[in-house]
C-alpha cells in the first residue's frame, strides 16, 4: 500500500469514528455537547487534512501541503478547545495563531524557498506545542478528574509527541529534496506518518467518549447521594456512612454519636410565606449546620425539615455540647423575607453508640426519640437519649 492509499484509508477511518461520536452526541447532557462538537470538528478537520494528502496531487505541491498541514493543525487546535470546554476553561487564541503561522510558513518553505527538512522542523514544532498544551491541561485537571480516560489521553498525546520528535530525527539523517511531501513512497517513514495522524482521531475519540461517559456516571452518582435542594448528603449516604462509622466504633472503640435535628415550626413558615420561602429556609439552615458542625462531621438531610449530624470520636457529653453550639449558631443567624426577620430555631436529639446497640439504626432511633423529647419540652433545645 502506498502513502496516498494509507492517507485515504486514514481519512475514511477518521470519518467513521466521527460518526460514532455523532451518535453518542445525542445521548450526552447539554453541558457536555459543546465539547463534543469541538471534538467532532477536530476529527472532521483531521479527515480533511488526510484527504488532501491522499487526493491533493491534482493541486500544485505548495497548495496541497499548505492546505493539508494547516487543516491538520486546526484539527489539533479544535481538540484542545474541546478539552477547554469540557473542563470549563476559557479558550485562548494560541492554537489559531500557531496554525495560521505554521500554514504560512509551510507555503513559504514549499513555494518561495523550498526546504523539506525546514518545513518538517517547523511543523513538528507547531504540532509539539499544540500537543503539549493539551497534555498540560489534562494533567492540570488531575485533582478534579481522576478518570482513567484522562490519563489514557495523556498517554496517547505523549506517543504522538514522541513520534513527531522522532520523525524529525529520522528526516535529518535522510537526503530529502526540497520539493517533496510525506504523501510519497520515497521513504519508509512516510507510510508511518498517516498511522500516527490517525492516533488522536481514532483511539483519541474513543478515549474522549469514555471521558464524557465517566463524567456522566460521576454526576449520576453524586445526584443519587445528594439532596437536590440543600446539596447535603441524603439519607442513602447517611446510612452508608453511618454503618461504616458504627463498625469502626465497634472494632476500634472510637466514639460515635448521632444528632437528629428538626427545624421548629417549619409548617408555620410554609403556611405564612409559601413553599418557596420554605425551601430557602431549608437551604439557609443547611448552610448554618455545615458552618457550625466540626470539620469532618457528616451533615445530611434525611427528608422534610429533618437533618442529621454524624459525629465520629465523640462521647455523648461532647456530642451534646457540639449540638448545643450548632443550635445556638442557628438561633443567632439572620434570615429575612423582604426585609422582615424570620426567626429560625432547631430542636435536636443526640445519642451515643452503646454496647447494647446492634447497628447504626439503633443509635439513630434513640437520637430520634430524644428529638421528640426536645419538642415536648418546648423546642429550641438539645436533649440526650434516655438510657
Catalogue the active-site residues: 305
State the Cα–Cα distance between residues 200 and 157, nearest whole angstrom.
7
Run of H or E including 311: strand 306-312
- 9/7 Cα distance (integer angstroms): 5
DSSP state of 294: P
Could you tell me if 258 and 354 are in contact, meaning their C-beta atoms sit under 8 angstroms apart? no
Per-residue DSSP letter, 141 = T
The distance from CA 333 to its chain's CA centroid, rounded to whole angstroms, is 35
Angstrom distance (rounded) from CA 343 to CA 369: 25
Q: Which helix (H) or strand (E) holds 215?
A: helix 205-225
Q: Please name the residue that has the C-alpha cell 469532618.
A: 296
Q: At residue 69, what are phi and psi to the nearest 5 degrees?
A: -70, -40
Task: Output b/e per residue, 18-40; b: 16+ Cβ within 10 A.
Answer: beebeebbeebeeebeebbbbbb
Amino acid at each position: 500500500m502506498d502513502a496516498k492509499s494509507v492517507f485515504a484509508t486514514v481519512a475514511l477511518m477518521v470519518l467513521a469514528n466521527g460518526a460514532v461520536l455523532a451518535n453518542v452526541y445525542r445521548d450526552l447532557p447539554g453541558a457536555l455537547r459543546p465539547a463534543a462538537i469541538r471534538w467532532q470538528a477536530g476529527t472532521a478537520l483531521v479527515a480533511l487534512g488526510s484527504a488532501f494528502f491522499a487526493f491533493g496531487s491534482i493541486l500544485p505541491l505548495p497548495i496541497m501541503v499548505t492546505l493539508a498541514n494547516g487543516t491538520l493543525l486546526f484539527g489539533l487546535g479544535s481538540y484542545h478547545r474541546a478539552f477547554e470546554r469540557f473542563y470549563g476553561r476559557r479558550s485562548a487564541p494560541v492554537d489559531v495563531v500557531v496554525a495560521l503561522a505554521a500554514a504560512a510558513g509551510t507555503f513559504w518553505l514549499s513555494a518561495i524557498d523550498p526546504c523539506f527538512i525546514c518545513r518538517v522542523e517547523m511543523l513538528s514544532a507547531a504540532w509539539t506545542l499544540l500537543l503539549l498544551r493539551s497534555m498540560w491541561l489534562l494533567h492540570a485537571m488531575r485533582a478534579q478528574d481522576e478518570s482513567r480516560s484522562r490519563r489514557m489521553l495523556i498517554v496517547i498525546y505523549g506517543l504522538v509527541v514522541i513520534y513527531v520528535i522522532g520523525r524529525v530525527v529520522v528526516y535529518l539523517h535522510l537526503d530529502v529534496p526540497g520539493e517533496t511531501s510525506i504523501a510519497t513512497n520515497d521513504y519508509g517513514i512516510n507510510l508511518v506518518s498517516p498511522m500516527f495522524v490517525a492516533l488522536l482521531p481514532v483511539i483519541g475519540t474513543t478515549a474522549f467518549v469514555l471521558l464524557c461517559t465517566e463524567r456522566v456516571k460521576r454526576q449520576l452518582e453524586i445526584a443519587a447521594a445528594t439532596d437536590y435542594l440543600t446539596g447535603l448528603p441524603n439519607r442513602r449516604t447517611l446510612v452508608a456512612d453511618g454503618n461504616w462509622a458504627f463498625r469502626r466504633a465497634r472494632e476500634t472503640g472510637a466514639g460515635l454519636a448521632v444528632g437528629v435535628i428538626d427545624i421548629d415550626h417549619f409548617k408555620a413558615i410554609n403556611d405564612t410565606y409559601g413553599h418557596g420561602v420554605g425551601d430557602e429556609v431549608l437551604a439557609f439552615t443547611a448552610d448554618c449546620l455545615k458552618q457550625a458542625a466540626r470539620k469532618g462531621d457528616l451533615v445530611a438531610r434525611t427528608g422534610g425539615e429533618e437533618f442529621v449530624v454524624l459525629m465520629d470520636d465523640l462521647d455523648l457529653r461532647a456530642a451534646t455540647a457540639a449540638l448545643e453550639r450548632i443550635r445556638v449558631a442557628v438561633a443567632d443567624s439572620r434570615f429575612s423575607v423582604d426585609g422582615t426577620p424570620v426567626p429560625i430555631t432547631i430542636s435536636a436529639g443526640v445519642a451515643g453508640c452503646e454496647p447494647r446497640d446492634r447497628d447504626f439504626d439503633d443509635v439513630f432511633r434513640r437520637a430520634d426519640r430524644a428529638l421528640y423529647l426536645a419538642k415536648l419540652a418546648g423546642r429550641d433545645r438539645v436533649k440526650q437519649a434516655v438510657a
